[in-house]
Structure 1
Amino acid sequence: MAPLFLTAALHEKIWGGTGLKDDYGFEIPSDHTGEAWVISGHPNGPTTVQNGLYAGKTLAQLWTQQPQLFANGDPKRSFPLLVKILDAKQDLSVQVHPDDAYAAQHAGELGKTESWYVLAAKPGAKIYYGHQASSQAEFDRALDQGDWEHLLQTVPVKAGDFFYVPAGTLHALGAGVIVLETQQSSDVTYRVYDFDRIDAQGHQRDLHLADAKAVTQVPFKPVKTNPQVEEGLGFVKTTLQVAPYFNVFLWQIDGQAHFQAQAPYTLVTVIEGSGKLIVDEQSYSLTKGMSMVLPSPIKEWTLAGQLTLVASTPGPKAL
């Protein structure tokens, strides 16, 4: 069984730039490209298999038509995870995502818990993460009055930082930040503040304040991450997050390292360097920006070279 190498779906955004091309080699559609959906079964941007028996099929098609590749016992569900690389040339809108219950009722989708691994950050870069309101009344008043100076909470960031962003967290990437985002497969966003930007048609983008008031966690309680590091000959493996919907790992390879599957399938993106993946004595070249799924029939594999990868597996709520 071969790994499933994937072609990303690219999305233009008002806040995007050229980092996806400059840093990761994607063929972007314009100089304001904000997102590469590198592993996706979502209808708004499904990725396509490049190689092997399933070349030309989308990940969504394989999930339903070949459920054995994922040990998927319920093909009627949608593929539960989504991995993106985001290039924030400008600040993203300050936004919040709903949980499963609210999203199902109001949007017919999954909720959206996500996480960010910071790939690059310009000096002085920051993210918006949480808020300072102590009560629902204070939060609602700040939204109604546009009191962003007193409401929004910012955190300085650098490459290598990791943030867990559960549904209900007010958040945004700041200008000059590139991240790898691991999330539930959902495209439901409630925009709270867009810095009074005007789009190409001369209009401000819609805000969703009523929904934001209904789903935002008040008061904000950040989830602390506790990375666990395992070092061995040729590798450093860091568990960045173990969570209900997904688990996220950083693999740093310098030489050769052997892995065994810990879940029904594994999602992998190369974020730095080059090397090779060896499965069943077959070797596959790896370069920065490549993404793949290691499906259920692949029980073990070897990584060799000098490269860094972010991997993820489904959590219990995604199985």
Structure 2
Amino acid sequence: MSSVHDDQSVQAIALPANQPQQFYRGGTNIAALRGGGDDREFGPEDWVASTTTRFGQAESGLSRLPDGRWLRDAVREAPEQWLGTEHVAAFGDSTALLVKLLDAGQRLPVHCHPSDTFAQQHLGSRFGKTEAWIVVGTSGPNPVVHLGFREDVAPEVVERWVSTQDSSAMLGSLNEIPVRPGDTVHVPAGTPHAIGEGVFIVELQQPTDFSVTLEWQGFLSDAESAFLGMDQRTALETLNHSGFDDTVLASLIKHTADQDSGRVELLAEDAAPFFRADRLHGSVELAPSFGVLIVLEGNGKLRSDNGSDLDLRRGSTVVVPHAAGAAQLEGDLTAVHCRPPSAGSRR
């Protein structure tokens, strides 16, 4: 093996933008964060340190390392260096994590994602797609997200809405939640949801691109692409029809804007079996782990215990291998640190 390969699996690496084309508008806030001029109309998602491809694609969505390899292939070549022994024992050579910047330049359609069980049965995947949103910016008069049905909805009612593409009924059935920077939302698999125009998030997901798009008309070209190649009735089996009352919503949503300690745990407790995220500010120690850093403000350095330093600035997106060891964040900066679940946290 070449020394370049060895080096890249033991030190933190800054990565460029990775914006596979999507069906909806956005991207201006990603460009502004990164300080570049690429504000393409249909570049609303930046897949950071991604080892996941877009559904049905061979390479689109993957992140490339500076040496030219896909990160996915580098992890497969040296999983214990990248991920750590305990992680590999629990999850194999999967990072068990997909991180995105998502800039909604328009409202997204009502959709949901399959559970692990459904994905195993119907999609040949160990992972479904539970996700979480960390709101890092908002614009416009009414930045909102839509999460879960307000009341229980019978399966036949949902099927009728989807068959007739009754957008107003689908959107109107969901809880509408105003959001501001610092808010976080845990989105369990099966939850119907939509992200409103003007909401800019760091999104953590299980490492798949599985979406069941209930409201596809006006967004996707046809119904076939809305249901992951399944028939409508089968695809909708993964949907959670239960109403989310205030107690349920309170268990999924956190408000962290007023917390200003060096390390702030961002996500609801129920997210822990799927991923972890902290907001870091100033000088903070990082334990050895595969992780993704997204710098929201300021400048500084990431010093690894192997002696390597990486300069950081607003807009930096960084992949950190487990083999980089313990690290120290230094400087006047604010970053989101995303990690896979701990090896013992899955059910």
Contact kept? 2:26, 2:103, Cα under 8 Å: yes
Q: Distance in 1 between matches of 2:70 and 2:214?
A: 33
| Residue range with higher mean Cα deviation, 90-99 or 271-280 | 271-280
After the TM superposition, which of the residue ranges 34-43 and 284-293 deviates more from structure 2? 284-293
Matched, 1:156 2:178: yes
1:89 is matched with 105
Measured against aligned partners, the alpha-carbon deviations of 1:79-112 in whole angstroms (never above 9, x if no partner) come to 3111000111111111100011211222223200
Pick from 264, 277, 280 the counterpart of residue 248 of structure 1: 277
Counterpart contact for 1:96–1:191, Cα < 8 Å: yes
Q: In structure 2, what is the Cα distance between the partners aligned to 1:101 and 1:86?
A: 26
Q: Contact 1:231 / 1:237 at 8 angstroms: preserved in 2? A: no
- Unpaired runs of at least 5, structure 1: none
Match of 1:112 in 2: 129
| Distance in 2 between residues matched to 1:142 and 1:287, nearest whole Å | 46
SS of the aligned residue for 1:245 comes to coil
Partner of 1:13: 22
Q: Count how many residue pairs are aligned between Structure 1 and Structure 2.
A: 305
Matched, 1:71 2:88: no
Query: Tell me, what secondary structure is at the counterpart of 2:240?
Result: coil
What is residue 301 of structure 2 aligned with on the other side?
276
Distance in 2 between the 1:244 and 1:63 partners? 22
Q: 2:3 matched to which residue of 1?
A: none
* 2:131 and 2:203 in contact (8 A); partners too: yes
Q: Give the distance between the partners of 2:311 and 2:151, measured in 1 at CA.
A: 50
Give the secondary-structure state (helix, strand or coil) at the position aligned to 2:214: strand
How high is the sequence identity, in percent, across the aligned residues?
Answer: 27
**Structure 1 counterpart of 2:101, which letter?**
I
1:165 pairs with one of 187, 192, 197: 187
CA distance change for structure 1 residues 18 and 7 in 2, over 3 Å: closer, same or farther?
closer
What letter corresponds to residue 197 of structure 1 in structure 2?
G
Q: How does 1:1-319 map to 2 (within 5 A)?
A: 1-19=10-28, 20-25=30-35, 28=38, 30-44=40-54, 45-50=61-66, 55-69=67-81, 70-72=83-85, 73=88, 77-109=93-125, 110-122=127-139, 123-137=141-155, 138-144=157-163, 146=166, 147-148=169-170, 150-194=172-216, 196-197=217-218, 203=221, 206-208=225-227, 209-221=232-244, 222=248, 223-225=251-253, 236-241=262-267, 242=269, 243-253=272-282, 257-261=283-287, 264-280=289-305, 281-315=307-341, 316=344
Work out the CA distance in 2 between the residues paired with 1:173 and 1:226. Answer: 16
Q: Which has the higher strand share?
A: 1
* Higher helix proportion (structure 1 or 2): 2
Amino acid at match of 2:212: Y
Deviation at 1:155, TM superposition (A): 1.0
* In 2: Cα distance, 1:26 partner to 1:188 partner: 30
**CA displacement 1:137-175 (0-9 Å, x = unmatched):** 444444445222542321111122110011011111111
**Structure 1 residues 76, 18: closer, same or farther in 2, change over 3 A?**
closer
CA distance in 1: counterparts of 2:346 and 2:315, whole angstroms: 25
Pair 1:220–1:251, CA change in 2 (3 A): farther
**3-state SS of paired residue (1:17):** coil
TM-score by length of 2: 0.78
Per-residue deviation, 1:68: 2.1
